[in-house]
């Protein structure tokens, strides 16, 4: 598993490919599940959504928990991050890579 060494993993620009690594993403974290953020991926150079996620506190090392999922499918999801809660659509949550809390 690739561990991001840079302090802000969000600044990297990795090609978005899943499956080749055992990285879990926030959009697939089950309801009630806890995890720690590993990195926030940018989908494009200077991805404004990734930047905003960072400003809202989605940064490597923070603990997240999925507290609710939308009534239709799993979209959007409600996530608790410290003392704040955010509703995210799948596309947004899919940028947040996780390592499961031990």
Total length of the chain: 102
Residues 41-100 contacting another protein, CB under 8 A: 43, 48-49, 51-57, 59, 67-73, 75-76, 78, 80, 82-89, 91-92
Going by C-alpha positions, the residue among 98, 102, 101 that lies closest to residue 21 is: 98
Compute the least distance from the CB of residue 43 to another protein, in Å.
Answer: 8
Going by C-alpha positions, the residue among 85, 29, 31 that lies closest to residue 56 is: 85
Compute the least distance from the CB of residue 79 to another protein, in Å.
Answer: 9
Compute the least distance from the CB of residue 48 to another protein, in Å.
Answer: 6
Sort 66 into a burial class: Cβ within 10 Å, 0-12 / 13-18 / 19+.
Answer: buried
Compute the least distance from the CB of residue 26 to another protein, in Å.
Answer: 13
Cα-Cα-Cα-Cα dihedral sign, residues 91, 97, 99, 101 = negative
Q: Does 28 bind another protein (CB under 8 A)?
A: no
| Interface residue list for another protein (CB under 8 A) | 7-8, 43, 48-49, 51-57, 59, 67-73, 75-76, 78, 80, 82-89, 91-92
């Amino acid at each position: 598993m690739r561990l991001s060494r840079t302090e802000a993993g969000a600044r990297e620009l990795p090609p978005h490919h899943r499956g080749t690594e055992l990285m879990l993403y926030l959009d697939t974290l089950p309801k009630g599940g806890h995890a720690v953020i590993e990195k926030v991926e940018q989908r494009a150079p200077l991805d404004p959504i990734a930047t905003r996620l960072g400003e809202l506190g989605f940064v490597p090392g923070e603990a997240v928990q999925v507290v609710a999922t939308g009534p239709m499918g799993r979209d959007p999801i409600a996530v608790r991050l410290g003392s704040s809660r955010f509703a995210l659509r799948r596309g947004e949550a899919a940028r947040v890579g996780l390592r499961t809390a031990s």
